Structure 1
Amino acid sequence: MSAPTVDVHAHVLLPEVDALVAGLPGLAEARALDARRNGPAALAVSGPMVRERAPRMTDVTARLAAMDAQGVDVQLVSPSPSHYHYWADEETAEKVFRRANEATAAHCAQAPGRLHGLGLVPLQHPEQAVRALEHALEQGLSGVEISSHAPGRELSDPAYEPLWTRAAQRGAIVFLHPFGCTLDERLDQWYLSNVVGQPVENAVALSHLIFSGVLDRHPGLKLIAAHGGGYLPTHIGRSDHAWSARSDAGAGCAHLPSSYLKRLYFDSLVHDPHVLRELVRVAGADRVLLGSDYAFDMGTEDPVAALRAARLPDSDFHAIRGANAAALLDLA
């Protein structure tokens, strides 16, 4: 029996979280920053797009119908990154992650076997991170979703060591999905905030994890990078050169940076069959997972066709289509 087709990059919208933060100090400021980073033209398109697609990310019946049309058997569902709310104080942050975890679990529970979920961790309060992870696992979720950084903190920050330790111990998935790019107004036209910003943020975050030695200290960490890891996998040779040529670049990690790509997982959402082939070459076919970014417009409506377009060997195609994720999620 062949493995199910598993999409590891699919989102849920959580009105419960929106209701929790509505009107709180800090939300308006965070939205103003988001507006400044994206620019007015992008906001004018994004608002109607999200409203039109919201039913597919809130109603389980609509989600299952879309999955059936795509030929997807299982989704790993993560909250929309708009729910991170890394501006929130400690009390609010705890309420956010608890409500997000519980609401995501409730959504997935409506289709057991077909939907698995991820919770949230308040990266702005590292002391809450392990508690948030444990809460997510208590709800029956498979792990947590995080952004590429929190205000003033990179993922290489020692404050996150307990999170990596516990995630590795528990076999929990950590899904790295950026939200917002610190290049700010430089990307405020033509939706560059997402087009360029997301792959930049992926590359920066993964570089912090690699060069700082996080992956040396936590070899069992199950980390999935969205958007194929951004720009890093296709330019990893530059990282290897720096590690070999400069004492400062090579000081933090034990091995060539490219070797760590085989310790990470990546989704297949790169929008180019040649880039997908290169990702498979540098990371290994066993480290790439099907991803669609359901149901946003920067995703793909047919992730299996996008994978097929890369013309990979049959064994690699089926591994990425679902076998790798089925093993990672321990699907029976």
Structure 2
Amino acid sequence: MSAERSVTVDVHAHVLLPSLQAGVEQRAPELVAEAAALELRRNGAESLKINGGMIGSRIGKLTDIHARLADMDEQGVDTQWVSASPNHFYPWAPEGIAVWAAGEANRLIAEHVAHAPDRLIGLGLVPLQHPDRIVEYLDDAVLGRGLAGVEISSFAGDVELSHPGLEPFWARAAELGCVVFLHPFGCSLDERLDRFYLSNTVGQPAENAVALSHLIFSGVLDRHPGLRLVVAHGGGYLPLSIGRSDRAWTARPEARGCEHPPSSYLRKLWFDTVVHDPIALRRLVETVGGARVLLGSDYPFDMGLDDPLAFVRSADLPNEIVDRIVGANARALLDAKVRA
């Protein structure tokens, strides 16, 4: 690490856990088959075939610590926050499989980051579709395994992020001061996005926007102001179209579940830089503030940023804001967790 520059932190990077996948397949082969059918319906055969080749070519990057560290050095990234590849969420799984998978993911992620504790920070998993068990596995991740927080999807089955059963989870996450990283897996639009890779290009930002809207309009952020929620993909469509949400809050009584205009809550969250467009990154900074944007790459997937630092610098932001985005904001967020 150079003493002449700030420490850089990538908050959006993934790890693949083959032994976890094998364990789920062994315990519930019929459910794995159902999940595969759902993936085919959502993504289409062409995208699934390409995904298989893309992931296959990146297995080393997703599993081997030496490959990860070498890529980080090449990118100029000093620290990565490592979270599970979203295919490990298992939102279709019944309670027994779901809780086993969450606990095993927490163990494996902790083992992975322990190989380079000065470079890697881990985020675990919780069984989102089983709210009665979610606090238990949040504690397992943060207190039991020493992880910085957990990664969650935008929804799981019939559990939206506004679900009343998640109130204990939000309260506990705020109490622990841990990171909650919101990263979608799949999109509820299903077959409408099964071609042209719309399942990702449209589906991911749409899911981010829907999930954040559930959190905001339901008052979750009013009730739990201490939440440290980091949102992948720059929050999707919501930060760029938040004016429509504010209008609904003003005009529609059923949209008044939150105390303040929806736009005010964006400055209480954190967002990564995986937006692929320098203009969109500038708009994100204008909307949420320079202290609320964090460097992300989506390493090592093909829809990520190959050179995340160069992308941030291409947005023509003030040097002070760039320094915050590429490292200072993430370090401050974790420092606040330590003090909590």
So what's the TM-score if we normalise by structure 2?
Answer: 0.96
Q: What pairs up with 1:227-306 in 2 under 5 angstroms?
A: 227-250=233-256, 252-306=257-311
Q: Which moved more, 1:17-26 or 1:192-201?
A: 17-26
**Does the alignment pair 1:148 with 2:148?**
no
After TM superposition, list the pairs within 5 Å mapping 1:209-224 onto structure 2: 209-224=215-230
Alignment match, 2:204 = 198
Moved more, 147-156 or 14-23: 14-23
| Residues 167 and 3 (structure 1), Cα distance of their counterparts in 2 relative to 1, 3 Å cut | farther
Secondary structure in structure 1 of the residue aligned to 2:68: helix
**Structure 2 counterpart SS, 1:305:** helix
* Separation in 2, partners of 1:246, 1:28: 43
2:11 corresponds to: 8
Match of 1:207 in 2: 213
Q: Which aligned pairs between 1:63-212 and structure 2 lie closer than 5 A?
A: 63-137=68-142, 138-212=144-218
Amino acid at match of 2:288: A
Distance 2:6 2:18 in 1: 33
> 2:57 aligns to what SS in structure 1?
helix
SS of corresponding position for 1:248: helix
1:273–1:306: 8 Å Cα contact kept in structure 2? yes
CA–CA distance in structure 1, aligned partners of residues 19 and 228 of structure 2: 28
Query: What CA deviation, in whole Å up to 9, does each residue of 1:153-200 have, x standing for no partner?
Result: 210001000000000000110000000001011000010000000000
Cα displacement (A) at 1:286? 0.3
Judge which range, 172-181 or 22-31, deviates more.
22-31
Residue in 2 that maps onto 1:21: 24
The alignment partner of 1:105 has SS state of helix
Question: Displacement of 1:44 after TM fit?
Answer: 1.4
Q: Which shows bigger deviation, 92-101 or 1-10?
A: 1-10
Contact 1:226 1:266 in 2 (8 A): yes
What is the identity, as a one-letter code, of the residue corresponding to 1:93?
A
The residue type equivalent to 2:20 in the other structure is: V
Q: Distance in 1 between matches of 2:266 and 2:53?
A: 37
In the TM superposition, what are the counterparts of 1:307-318 in structure 2 within 5 Å? 307-318=312-323
Q: Any conservation in 2 of the 1:16–1:100 contact (CA below 8 Å)?
A: no
Instruction: Tell me if structure 2 keeps the 8 A contact 1:16–1:99.
Output: no
CA–CA separation in structure 2 for the residues paired with 1:248 and 1:168: 27
Distance of 1:228 and 1:60 partners within structure 2: 27
- Residue 327 of structure 2 aligns with which residue? 322
Per-residue deviation, 1:330: 2.4
Distance 1:90 1:183 in 2: 25
Is the contact between residue 202 and residue 230 of structure 1 (CA under 8 Å) also seen in structure 2? Answer: yes
Q: CA deviation at 1:94?
A: 1.5
Task: Report what 1:52 is aligned to.
Answer: 57
SS in 1 for 2:101: helix
| SS of residue matched to 2:335 | coil
How far 1:131 moved relative to its partner? 0.5
Letter in 2 for 1:224: V
Counterpart CA distance in 2 for 1:154 and 1:98 is 22
User: Residue in 1 aligned with 2:42?
Assistant: 37
Gaps of 5+ in 2: none
TM superposition outliers: structure 1 runs of 4+ over 2 Å: none
Name the CA distance, whole Å, in 1 between partners of 2:19 and 2:83: 15
Distance apart, 1:149 and its partner CA: 0.4
3-state SS of 1:7 partner: strand
Q: Secondary structure at the match of 2:241?
A: helix
Q: 1:168 & 1:303 partners in 2: Cα distance? A: 29
Identity rate of aligned residues, in percent? 60
Kindly state the Cα deviation for residue 92 of structure 1 after the two structures are TM-superposed: 1.1
Could you give the per-residue CA deviations for residues 193-226 of structure 1, whole angstroms, max 9, x where no partner exists? 0000000000000000000000000000000010
**In 1: Cα distance, 2:149 partner to 2:169 partner:** 11
What letter corresponds to residue 196 of structure 1 in structure 2?
V
User: How many residue pairs were aligned?
Assistant: 331
Aligned to 1:61: 66
